[in-house]
Chains A and B, each alone.
Chain A
C-alpha cells in the first residue's frame, strides 16, 4: 500500500507549504477530460468568488496521467467575473494540479484530495466530476454552505432526474442503504459531494485504497462511511446532472458488480451499525427545488423481460443457490405470464436483494458470480418498474420508489434473521 508519506509529489508538497492553511478545498479528479474540465473549473472559480469571496480556497485537480492536456486546461481556465456580475473582492483561490498515486481509479484520486485537505487543514471540501456540463456556480454554494454555515459533515447531491434514470440507484442502492442505515439519502452514489475537513481526515485514514472500492465503489463508500460514522448528513438540490456517459449499458454487469458489490462489502464491515436499526429518518434538503422537462428515455422492455426469462431457465440452478426457496418460487411464477401482467412486486424484490446479500456474505458462490447473476434479475425488476410507471410523471413514479423503500424497511427483520444465522453458523 502506498503510504501517506509518499502519496504527494515533491512539487505538490512544496506548493502546500507555500499555500499554508485554507478554508475551502474543491477537488476535481480527472483523466483525459480536456473537453469538459474547463467549464467545471470556471464554474468552481465563479462559485467561490460569488459565495465565498472572503474565504481562502484551493482548487485541487487530481489527475490520473492525462495525455490530452487536461492539466493545461485547468491551469489556463479563467473567468469573466464581469459577465458573472461578480464585483466583490475576489476569493483567494490557489490551484494545485497533481498526479495521484495508487491503483488507477477515482478512489486513488480522492485519496490524494483527502490527504491534501488534511495538509491544508481545510474546514470544508467538495468534489465534483470533471465531465459535468450542467454544473453552475451555485453548486459550490450548495455543497460547501451546509458544511461551513450549518455544521454538517456530509452533503450528498440531489439531482433532478427522469423517472428511468439511475435505475440501479432507484431499485437497489437507495432502498437498501435507507433500510440498512436509517437515513433517506436519495442519491447515495451521485458523484458530487461536500464534506467537512474532519470527515476528509477520517476518509484519508481508512485502509481501502488498494481494494476494489478504490477503483469503482468510492461514491457509495463515502456516503456509507459518513452515515456509519455518525456524521451529520444532509442533501443539496443541484438540478439536472448532465455529463458525458461513463457507463454504457453494455457494461451493466460490471456496474452491478462494482456498485452492489461495494454495498454488500460495506454491509459486512458495518453490521454492528445496521443490524439493530429500524425505520428511517428524513435528511435535510438544501437548495431551491424546481422542475424542468427532461428528455424522454427509450426503454426496450421486451429485451429486458426476455433476458430475465432466459435467466429463469438457464440460471435457475445458480439462483436456487443464492435465493431462498420462497423467493425462487415467486420468480418462477413469472415464467409464462403475459407482458401486461409481468410484475416483480416490491416485497419479492426486497427478498431477492436481501437473499443476494446473504449469499454474498455466506459465499455460497464466488462473490462475483452472485453479483453478475443479479443482472437478469435486475433487468426483470427494471422492466416491471417501467411497465408500472409508464403512464406516470417522474413525481408520481417517485411515490412508487417510496413504496419500494417501505418494503425494504418492512422486511429488514427477514434480512437480520438470515444474516445472523450466517454469522452464528460460521
Chain B
C-alpha cells in the first residue's frame, strides 16, 4: 500500500518539485532581467524624449504638419513624447524577450527568436509610413500652391490626389516590408493605378477630344485666340 502511495503520488510530486527547483533560478533570472529592463526602458524613454525636445523635433514636425495630423487623429501629445514612449516600449519588449529566453523552454525560445527577427521589418515599415506621410504633406502643399498660382480650378483635387497617391505607395511599400499579402498588394496597386491612368486617358482623349485639340493648338501656335488677353506687366 505504501509503495502504491509512493509511486502514484509522492514520486510525481517529488519529480515536480525537482523540476521547479531546477527552473527556479531561471525564473529568478527572468525576473531580474525584467526589472532591469523596465528600469532601462524608463531611462532610455526619458533621455530620448529630452534629446528630441532639445534638437527641436517638435518645431520641425509642427512645420511639416505632423503635429496637426496627430491632433486630427486624436493624439494630443507631441512627437518627442511619442518617440520617447516608443523607445520605452521597444526596450521593454526586448527585455521581455530576453527574460523569456532565459527560461530555456524550447517553444518559447523559438517564438522569441522569430519575434526578434521580425522587429527590423516592423521598424522599417514604420519608418516608411512616417516618411511617406511627411513627404505626402510636403508634396501636397507644394502642388496646391503651384496649382493655385497657375489658376487651375481643381487645385485642391489635384493636391489631394498627389497626397493620397504618395500615401498609398508608402502603405504598399510598408505592407511589402511586413510580408503581408505581398503579391496582392503589388498587383492590386498596379491594377488600380493603371486603371486610373487609362480611364483618364480615355476620358480626355474621347470625351474631351475637341478640348484636347484646342489645347494643343494653343500650345503649339500663338496664344490668346480664345483666351483673355495677357498682361503687359513687368513685375521687376
Provide the residues of chain B in CB contact with A410, threshold 8 Å. Answer: none
Fill in one digit per residue for A355-385: 1 if any B CB lies within 8 Å of its CB, else 0: 0000000011110110011011000001000
**Does residue B146 face the partner (Cβ distance < 8 Å to A)?**
yes
**Does residue A315 face the partner (Cβ distance < 8 Å to B)?**
yes
**Does residue B232 face the partner (Cβ distance < 8 Å to A)?**
yes
State which residues 133-184 of B face A: CB under 8 Å.
138, 141-142, 144-149, 151, 153, 155-156
Q: Known: A168-B236, A299-B231, A299-B232. Is A366-B148 also a contact (CB below 8 A)? A: no
With both beta carbons as reference points, the residue of chain A lying nearest to B141 in the complex is identified as: A369
CA distance A269 to B228 in the complex (A): 43
What does DSSP make chain A's interface, helix, strand, loop or mixed?
A: helix
Whether B141 contacts A365 by the Cβ 8 Å rule is: yes
Count the B residues whose beta carbon is within 8 Å of the partner chain — how many?
25
**Does residue B230 face the partner (Cβ distance < 8 Å to A)?**
yes
Whether B145 contacts A372 by the Cβ 8 Å rule is: yes
Q: Known: A310-B151, A318-B145. Is A189-B236 also a contact (CB below 8 A)? A: yes
Whether B142 contacts A299 by the Cβ 8 Å rule is: no
**Does residue A169 face the partner (Cβ distance < 8 Å to B)?**
yes
Provide the residues of chain B in CB contact with A167, threshold 8 Å. Answer: 233, 235
With both beta carbons as reference points, the residue of chain B lying nearest to A253 in the complex is identified as: B149
**Does residue A35 face the partner (Cβ distance < 8 Å to B)?**
no
CA distance A102 to B236 in the complex (A): 25
Whether B235 contacts A366 by the Cβ 8 Å rule is: no
Whether A306 contacts B151 by the Cβ 8 Å rule is: yes
CA distance A152 to B181 in the complex (A): 75
Choose one: A247, A299, A368; the contact of B236 (CB below 8 Å).
A247
State which residues 200-236 of B face A: CB under 8 Å.
228-236
**Does residue A252 face the partner (Cβ distance < 8 Å to B)?**
yes
Choose one: B146, B151, B230, B236; the contact of A372 (CB below 8 Å).
B146
Interchain nearest-CB distance for A120 vs B (Å): 31
* Most chain A CB within a 10 A radius of its CB, from B141, B146, B147, B236: B236
**Does residue B63 face the partner (Cβ distance < 8 Å to A)?**
yes
CA distance A365 to B64 in the complex (A): 7
Whether A252 contacts B235 by the Cβ 8 Å rule is: yes
With both beta carbons as reference points, the residue of chain B lying nearest to A171 in the complex is identified as: B235
Whether A311 contacts B151 by the Cβ 8 Å rule is: no
Interchain nearest-CB distance for B67 vs A (Å): 11
Interchain nearest-CB distance for B126 vs A (Å): 24
Whether B145 contacts A300 by the Cβ 8 Å rule is: no
What does DSSP make chain B's interface, helix, strand, loop or mixed?
A: helix
**Does residue A413 face the partner (Cβ distance < 8 Å to B)?**
no
Interchain nearest-CB distance for A171 vs B (Å): 9
Count the A residues whose beta carbon is within 8 Å of the partner chain — how many?
39
CA distance A80 to B169 in the complex (A): 68
Provide the residues of chain A in CB contact with B236, threshold 8 Å. Answer: 166, 168-169, 189, 247, 255, 259
State which residues 280-315 of A face B: CB under 8 Å.
296-300, 302-303, 306-307, 310-311, 314-315
**Does residue A336 face the partner (Cβ distance < 8 Å to B)?**
no
Fill in one digit per residue for A209-250: 1 if any B CB lies within 8 Å of its CB, else 0: 000000000000000000000000000000000000101010
Whether B141 contacts A314 by the Cβ 8 Å rule is: no
State which residues 163-217 of A face B: CB under 8 Å.
164-169, 189
Provide the residues of chain B in CB contact with A311, threshold 8 Å. Answer: 148
Whether B144 contacts A314 by the Cβ 8 Å rule is: yes
Whether B156 contacts A314 by the Cβ 8 Å rule is: yes
Whether A247 contacts B235 by the Cβ 8 Å rule is: yes
* Most chain A CB within a 10 A radius of its CB, from B63, B149, B151, B228: B149
CA distance A315 to B148 in the complex (A): 8
Whether A303 contacts B228 by the Cβ 8 Å rule is: yes
Q: Known: A310-B151, A363-B63. Is A297-B144 also a contact (CB below 8 A)? A: no
Whether A299 contacts B233 by the Cβ 8 Å rule is: yes
Whether B234 contacts A300 by the Cβ 8 Å rule is: no
CA distance A318 to B144 in the complex (A): 10
CA distance A303 to B233 in the complex (A): 13
Provide the residues of chain B in CB contact with A259, threshold 8 Å. Answer: 236
Provide the residues of chain B in CB contact with A306, threshold 8 Å. Answer: 151
Provide the residues of chain B in CB contact with A166, threshold 8 Å. Answer: 234-236
Provide the residues of chain B in CB contact with A363, threshold 8 Å. Answer: 59, 63
With both beta carbons as reference points, the residue of chain B lying nearest to A426 in the complex is identified as: B59
CA distance A375 to B155 in the complex (A): 15
Provide the residues of chain A in CB contact with B232, threshold 8 Å. Answer: 296-299
CA distance A165 to B231 in the complex (A): 11
With both beta carbons as reference points, the residue of chain A lying nearest to B152 in the complex is identified as: A310
Provide the residues of chain B in CB contact with A299, threshold 8 Å. Answer: 231-233
Sampled A-B contacts (5; CB under 8 Å) = A249-B235, A255-B235, A300-B229, A318-B141, A375-B145
10 nearest A-B residue pairs (beta carbon): A297-B232, A375-B149, A298-B232, A168-B235, A372-B145, A314-B155, A253-B149, A314-B148, A165-B234, A300-B231
